[in-house]
Amino acid sequence: MVRFFDFSRFHGKSPQGSTQIRVIQPIKYWDEAERYKYGENPDVLIFQKVYMLPDYKFPRDFEGIKILDICDPDWLDQANIVETCNAMDAITCSSENLAKFVRQFHKNVHVIPDRFDLEVIPKPVQHISKAKSVVWFGYSHNSVLMKQAMTLLDELDLKLTVISNDDTFLHQFSKRNYKDFYTYLKYDEDTIYQELQKHDFAILPEGYRPQDHFKSNNKTIKANLAGLPVAKTADDVRLYMDAKERQAWFDTNYAKIQEEYDIRKSVEQYKGIIDELRSRNH
């Protein structure tokens, strides 16, 4: 019996963000796995962003196989990250940079990238005309990364759609009323791919904050799986104005990205880690 004790359930929230990606999606293709319910006693418990606190020691005291899944640098302000890592049999991380950091505290660390359920993604459309609109999406506190791109989008007359949990403060980046320049949509996991496909490419500028070094590439991959190339620099934006360049990116990369980022690969990785840990216990 494998159970995920996830961030959303621990905090009493509906599944969002990392829980959708790293818990809800894999259990769809994993008969043995479910979300943890209080009172259960599985032989394997995966703590998805659930850390020990001064008055909360369950990750240490649970007696079965314990795996800690870390996919965000939110642990930067967690005083008990080392103690939590030390209590685990294995740790999984969403990026190699994150794994390198965690290996300071634990020897058995694996990289399981953020992957996605390909069955829910509509067929991409072909790129046939000069770019007219771009999309940025993600949590609103990350929209500060768009500040460096706004002038260029204005120069190229590219319309911007922002898909986020909250309407962002993009209008503060200039005296200009950016309500005339961008359209805001509430993020909805059920429709995100359809909304992304209404645009010519995604723009996700490179992060410059300390936490960005550890972040997953999940937004880039999500846009790619929708059929969109991702511009991270000004040169990328200018390149992808051309439909031939966008289609060339698609023809070269799309099939490989589908193969590498199928959520079923994550399930197989987890099964391999768990099989190894079970064999050690016998």
What is the fold, at CATH topology level, of the domain defined by 119-260? Rossmann fold (3.40.50)
| pLDDT surpassing 70 at residue 174 | no
Tell me the mean pLDDT in the region 209-213: 75
Residue pLDDT, tens place only, 24-64? 999 999 999 999 998 899 999 999 999 888 888 999 999 99
Question: Kindly report the CA angle at 124 between 184 and 160, in degrees rounded to 5?
Answer: 25
pLDDT at site 263: 98
Residue pLDDT, tens place only, 85-112? 999 999 999 999 999 988 988 999 999 9
Split at pLDDT 50, 70, 90, the class of 151 is confident
How far apart CA 15 and CA 24 sit, in angstroms, is: 8
How far apart CA 36 and CA 24 sit, in angstroms, is: 12
Query: Which residues, 6+ apart, have CB-to-CB distance to 226 below 8 Å?
Result: 121, 122, 124, 193, 196, 197
CATH 3.40.50.2000 residue ranges for the chain: 119-260
Q: Which residues pair with 67 in a beta bridge?
A: 46, 90
Mean pLDDT of the chain: 90
| pLDDT surpassing 80 at residue 68 | yes
| Cα-trace Rg, the chain | 20
Q: 31-35, 75-79, 268-272: which range is least confident on average?
A: 75-79
Q: 8 or 25: which carries more pLDDT confidence? A: 25
Split at pLDDT 50, 70, 90, the class of 177 is low
Tell me the mean pLDDT in the region 122-130: 94
Strand 133-138 versus strand 159-164 pairing type = parallel
pLDDT at site 73: 72
User: What global pTM score does this model have?
Assistant: 0.90
CATH architecture of structural domain 2-115+263-280: 3-Layer(aba) Sandwich (3.40)
Tell me the mean pLDDT in the region 169-176: 60
Q: Which residues pair with 152 in a beta bridge?
A: none
Q: Would you tell me how many other CB atoms lie within 10 Å of the CB of residue 253? A: 12
How far apart CA 243 and CA 186 sit, in angstroms, is: 28
The token duo for 226 is 């929708």
pLDDT at site 171: 62
Q: In a 3-state reduction of DSSP, which class is residue 253? A: helix
Residue bearing tokens 């496909």: 197
